[in-house]
A and B are shown apart, each in its own frame.
Chain A
Amino acid sequence: MASLKTSKDVQSVSGITVRLAGDSGDGMQLLGTQLTNTSALAGNDVATFPDFPAEIRAPRGTRAGVSGFQVQFASEEIFTPGDTLDALVVMNPAAMVTNLDDLRHGGILIANEDGFNEKEFKLAKVDSNPLDANVLEETYRIIKVPMTKLTREAVSEFGLGTKVADRCKNFFAMGLVYWLFGRSLDPTLRFIQAKFSKKPEIAAANEAALRAGWAFGETTEAFGESYQVEAAELKPGIYRNIMGNQALAWGLIAASKVSNKDLFYGTYPITPASDILHELTKYKHFGVKTFQAEDEIAAVCSTIGAAFGGSMAVTASSGPGIALKAEGMGLGMILELPMIIINVQRGGPSTGLPTKTEQSDLLQGMYGRNGEAPLPILAPRSPADCFEIAVEAWRLAVECMVPVMILSDGYIANGSEPWKIPTMSGIAPISITHPEGTDQSEPFMPYSRDEHLARPWAIPGTPGLMHRVGGLEKEDGSGNVSYDPANHQHMTNMRAAKVAKIAERIPKQDISGPATGDVLVVSWGGTYGACHTAVGRCREDGHSVSHAHLRYLNPMPSNLGDLLQQFKKVIVAELNSGQLRLLLRAEYLVDCIGVNKVQGKPFTVTELVAAIEQESNAVKGDSRLKAC
């Protein structure tokens, strides 16, 4: 398939941020995913932000039903899906009015004008056609395209019904977007062939719509030029595009392979964690057993049962489900069995905002169990980082015989970025030994300790090591039930020390930028990209600012306290009301300034830059004051 070439002018730009918005049923997520993959294959760095309603099919045409997909692709390394949009594609009035504010002045608005009629205005609750607003022409470049009509014409030869024909219009929109940004049609043509292999007439219609969209861009006088984004200079290697939940699933399988364990995944469906289940259950031939339990509690309990039996056991959920698992997690902790508990965080409290992102379960992870039950907590910083975090979590779990929690979030889970594909031989093996059977000449001590304070992982089936575990407090060493006061103190201290000791083995906290200065930005989890970009921009503007991004939240790296002392101000940026800030203040007695947001949306770089500048300028003001 020869790539199509435009005959119009091509302007080279370093990066483009585009958002595709339409009704939930308009296929915007598919369009976005295809544009992302195509851009990644063109060698761009990419970052995505899908944003969709919790309802499966919210009432058609309404603002609540708008589904969007934002992608930034660039010729340089990028860490966020972009703040303001260079281009916005809208399929109906509701999509336009809910997204237009994010389009930059001078940006391109492409509207399916067939979707703008009286009926749609009523559904979107607008008084008049928003495309007719006078201010629009002055602010944006508006391209009205009768996509429905043109799509119907393009597919007319296939004799499809109107309804089916209209479903092809997202491919028409895709073709037009591909033309505008000089993207090759080939990956999407391959996708169409594979996806609709059993429905050749649908495949042909979608292909025709895609090509018609491209041809429209090439011929219409509305577009004088298209844009080209060159390949980015990424580290050498083989890359693929990967989403966070997919990377987590693959990381779990990789961890099972390097530790010679079969993977058991016990879970209950919940947004935005379910895709991990959907992914893992495809890989039974990797020794993966998935169990869709009757509820969240059964999911964590089955996980503990599998861990007791000697499997690599994992459960995942989101905040509401993690709340239900709390008692089970406490049992896993006191049993001292290795397992992984994943929380793909979403907006809370209660059911909250199921499809929106938030980082408000940090304190739940730290303290959300009865009694003193500390668990190690790791947080991936980006979609691709989920892979490494999964492997690292299992390594710590088995070395310390403890459940390890991973705090991902909806933004990472559904976002995607290029992933430099590792080789399995490059992943360090995780060595696991189970005590061997004895003739019982000496009593087995299931709660004896090694240098990591970990107990032996003796599994059923081993002769001579029969023992009972349970949620009642245990006597040190023997594991027998004990109500002895001094023993309870000792065991509580021991379990806490075991987790705290992990700080000796994890990497020291690294810092981006100078090791001392005016302002340090501290962040964790999915806000890495926005914070990294904002700090870089402020440093370019002459501010003395550095960035420390935590992947280990419990225990925190051993040098973190010292590191915080090297800055005049510490900003903690997080998508909650100040949970990490609370921990840092309590642990290190360092005052921290919170930059917080709970809107179900990620940080924009712009708002972080403003917050950093404010604190940096305050420091400069203070020192000028002192100089006087």
Chain B
Amino acid sequence: MSTLPVLKPADFASDQDVRWCPGCGDYSILAQMKKILPELGFPREKTVFISGIGCSSRFPYYMNTYGMHSIHGRAPAFATGLKTTRPELMVWVITGDGDALSIGGNHFIHALRRNLDVNIVLFNNRIYGLTKGQYSPTSVEGQITKSTPMGSIDHPLSPLSVALAAEATFVARSIDAHVKHLGETLKRAAAHKGASLVEVYQNCNVFNDGAMAYAQERKQRADNVIELEHGKPLVFANGSKGIRLVGTHLEIVNTSDVPADDLLIHDEKDPNPSIHMMMARMSYPAMPEPIGVLRAVEDVPTYDDQINHQVATATANKGDGDLDALFTSGDTWTVD
């Protein structure tokens, strides 16, 4: 048996020119993906990227793996057909806030609730980029865009809340500019058996520049973001502030004012998503926003395993199907 060649990030780059705008957050996500894939040690030819439509969805063209740039919002559905028939493949779904939450909301929910073993990376820039600047389902209320000159009146949708409502087994968030955290989060998603969602705050420097600067900029991040760690208390602002659970609410406390065990301890493995949901609903500026893995519940059967298991079970019970026998089963008659 030959040993697998050791691959480098460059081995995952296709020969196509990358055509995102200079300064786009997508570059960072692409770089982290190329960086972590060699570390996974998984063959390139068994890796598939499937995307929908939008800026982020050009991603597969830039990866030297198998890939499909599909249609708007539907990438999870293509992934379902591929993963159920080829469960040995590692399938990534690349999508955006418009692609996954607006036109493709249905497929997003169903891929997650079925626990299909794919990794969904949702590039959230809170704007429609490729169609040049209309508001998206994650745009904040009041946002002025080309299609909302008097401000958006839609209440924004949280990808994490949607995923948790579908009881997704792996739900995480990271930030384009926080490259180390992003790489680690993508690796966790890849390692998870079941549907994984990683929301990535991604800056659109052309149509929505700085919309998430409070989380992206290193200086602001400490005060506005909580980096979650399993088994550790929720703290931010360099440890000076923390989060406490009071009844059914989360509140900010000064860590110096309360006993250490008053702070909420993060349990990503809790099968009950209620506290994960409270965390997903923490939003700037009222609250700091959590990044990292909110939820990672293992040992839930995956859709692809189960569909194949049913085929195997039926075959074990009934033997390999014999069509000649099927055709002549039941009532037949002979004409001489």
Contact = CB atoms under 8 A, between A and B. Distances in A.
B333 A468 contact: no
A460 B86 contact: yes
B321 A309 contact: no
A286 B16 CA distance: 42
Interface string B12-50: 001010000000000000000000000000011110101
A250 B333 contact: no
B74 A298 contact: yes
B335 A239 contact: yes
Contacts of A460: 45-46, 48, 66, 82, 86, 89
Q: Which of B45, B77, B88, B318 has the most CB of A within 10 A?
A: B77
Interface residues of B, number: 62
A567 interface: no
Contact of B330 (A240, A306, A424, A471): A240
Given A284-B311, A285-B321, A297 B77 contact: yes
A301 B69 CA distance: 12
B320 interface: yes
B16 A480 contact: yes
A294 B45 contact: no
Contact of B82 (A237, A308, A422): A308
Interface string A409-420: 000000000000
Contacts of B133: none
B78 A301 contact: yes
Contacts, number: 207
A486 B107 CA distance: 36
A37 B107 CA distance: 43
A469 B78 CA distance: 12
Interface in A522-563: none
A215 B164 CA distance: 65
Contacts of B308: 289
Contacts of A303: 81
B317 interface: yes
Nearest to B63: A468
Nearest to B48: A460
Given A236-B335, A237-B335, A461-B86, A471 B77 contact: no
A295 interface: yes
A173 interface: no
A234 B318 CA distance: 34
Nearest to B330: A240
A447 interface: no
Q: Which of A187, A253, A283, A310 has the most CB of B within 10 A?
A: A283
B89 A461 contact: yes
A43 interface: yes
B21 to A, nearest CB: 17
A309 B310 contact: no
Interface string B279-322: 00000000000000000000000000001101101110111110
Given A238-B334, A284-B314, A463 B84 contact: no
B331 A241 contact: yes
A298 B110 CA distance: 10
Contact of B70 (A43, A295, A331): A331
Q: Which of B81, B83, B310, B317 has the most CB of A within 10 A?
A: B81
A240 B324 CA distance: 13
B61 A305 contact: no
Interface of A, secondary structure class, is mixed
Contact of B323 (A234, A250, A331, A471): A250
Given A43-B335, A301-B77, A289 B307 contact: yes
Given A284-B314, A461-B46, A463-B43, A309 B14 contact: no
B107 A298 contact: yes
B328 interface: yes
A472 B334 CA distance: 55
A119 interface: no
A269 to B, nearest CB: 15
Nearest to B86: A309
Given A284-B314, A291-B307, A470-B70, A238 B324 contact: no
Interface in B79-104: 79-86, 88-89
Contacts of B82: 305-306, 308-309, 460
B67 A291 contact: no
B71 interface: yes
Interface residues of A, number: 72
B243 interface: no
A470 B60 contact: yes
Nearest to A480: B16
Interface string A272-310: 000000000001111111010111011101111111111
B14 A468 contact: yes
A235 interface: yes
Q: Which of B71, B83, B317, B324 has the most CB of A within 10 A?
A: B71
Contacts of B150: none
Contacts of B65: 466
Contact of A301 (B48, B60, B71, B86): B71
A308 B45 contact: no
A614 interface: no
Contacts of B81: 264, 266, 291, 301-309, 311, 313
A123 interface: no
Given A41-B333, A301-B74, A460-B48, A424 B321 contact: no
A466 B326 contact: no
A422 B327 contact: yes
A463 B45 contact: yes
A313 B81 CA distance: 9
B69 A472 contact: yes
Contacts of B310: 284
B331 A240 contact: yes
Given A239-B334, A262-B85, A301-B70, A468 B60 contact: yes
Given A236-B335, A253-B323, A283-B326, 10 more contacts: A288-B311, A293-B77, A301-B107, A305-B50, A310-B86, A421-B328, A460-B82, A460-B86, A461-B46, A468-B67
10 contacts: A250-B327, A298-B110, A304-B70, A305-B85, A309-B85, A310-B85, A422-B327, A466-B44, A468-B66, A468-B69
Interface of B: 14, 16, 43-46, 48, 50, 53, 60-61, 63-71, 74, 76-86, 88-89, 106-107, 109-110, 307-308, 310-311, 313-315, 317-321, 323-324, 326-328, 330-336
The 10 closest A-B pairs by CB, nearest first: A470-B69, A305-B81, A286-B321, A302-B81, A301-B77, A284-B314, A306-B81, A305-B78, A298-B77, A468-B67
